[in-house]
Structure 1
Amino acid sequence: MFSNNNRNTRSESKTVMPTSNVNIIGSGTTIQGDIVCEGDIRIDGQVKGLVSTKAKIVVGPEGEIIGDLVCNSADIIGKVTGIIKVEDLLFLKGNALVKGDVYTSHFEMEPTAKFNGRCYMEPEEVAAANQKEKHGKSVATEKVLQEA
């Protein structure tokens, strides 16, 4: 029934790893705390805290972040209250609502999106902001989290 040949074949086979690392916070989920990851992340629920990745963040139409956002690129369709630091492209789509300052190299915004804050696009300001608070909460975020 079980032969040595089958066991050898199985042990010699390579484990198939996924080609991408995508993290999803689903609708109806609330997380209180920081999220730090390496791969892409999509948020359709609510996060109260820092969200940081070296890849892309997508905040879906029902998604909400109350805290800072640090990433390489971001597409925001939902709500973000806090400081956003994006190395490459920040794209506000649809009915996005952003309340807080933005540090980015490239910024795109659809006419239906709303943005209340300051935008910094000078490379030295973006780099300084990323170095200063790479994985820490800003003073503004601490205030928002205490009020929530």
Structure 2
Amino acid sequence: MFNKNKSPAPSPQPRPSTPAAIPPLPDMPSAGAAKPATAASAAPAGTSSRGLSTLSSDLKFEGTISGAGDLQVDGQIKGDLRVGRLIVGETGAVEGNVSADYIEVRGRIVGATSGKQVKLVSTAYVDGDITAEQLSIDIGAYFQGRCVQGRRDAPAATAPKPVAAPASDLAPIPQQPAGQVIDMKPH
């Protein structure tokens, strides 16, 4: 019934010494792989369906960057930046005005920042004003500047109209040349 011969346990295979794969960013489709859209994994509004463009840490760029796509900055940019979604990595630095629907800062921004959602992670350094509908600042993040909460498109509240006095009750205001004193005491 029982066999006393045991097969030797498989010897562990040595793992290659390659760096671990970098996990995809949250709410971002990884390059070449389509994720099914679910309510739990829905990306912020305005996110493009294309992959994420990356400026790697060994690159420097001078000039204006604009477009509707998504950008991760791990290098350095001197100039204004206007994209759909922006992630400034820990080694990334932007010197200029930044505008995007979603902005996540792990690195450095020196300039005005404007977006619907702005998130400063604990490693962030931001020197400039931030205008955002939603702002998140983690403990440890550095922020120097003013913060203005942007307004959402909402119907304007109607203010009550002031009650005006009848025209017959108003006395005309005498016109005097500049520099003269008007005596307003009743005579």
| Alignment TM-score, normalising by the size of structure 1 | 0.68
Structure 2 stretches of 5 or more lacking a match?
A: 1-31, 35-48, 153-187
Cα deviations by residue, 1:48-107 (Å, 9 ceiling, x for unpaired): 001101x21000000000001010011000000000010x21000021000000110000
Q: How do 1:1-148 and structure 2 match up within 5 A? A: 19-53=49-83, 55-86=84-115, 88-123=116-151
Q: Per residue, is there more strand in 1 or in 2?
A: 1
Provide the secondary structure at the position in 2 that maps to 1:123: coil
Cα deviations by residue, 1:2-56 (Å, 9 ceiling, x for unpaired): xxxxxxxxxxxxxx9x842421100010001011121110000000001101x21
Letter in 2 for 1:46: Q
- Which of 1 and 2 has higher RCO (CA within 8 Å, sep 6+)? 1
Letter in 2 for 1:76: V
State, as a whole percentage, how many aligned pairs show the same letter. Answer: 25
Tell which structure's C-alpha radius of gyration is larger.
Answer: 2
Letter in 1 for 2:85: K
Alignment coverage as a number of residue pairs: 106
| Alignment TM-score, normalising by the size of structure 2 | 0.54
Question: 2: distance between equivalents of 1:92 and 1:80?
Answer: 10
Structure 1 stretches of 5 or more lacking a match?
A: 1-15, 125-148
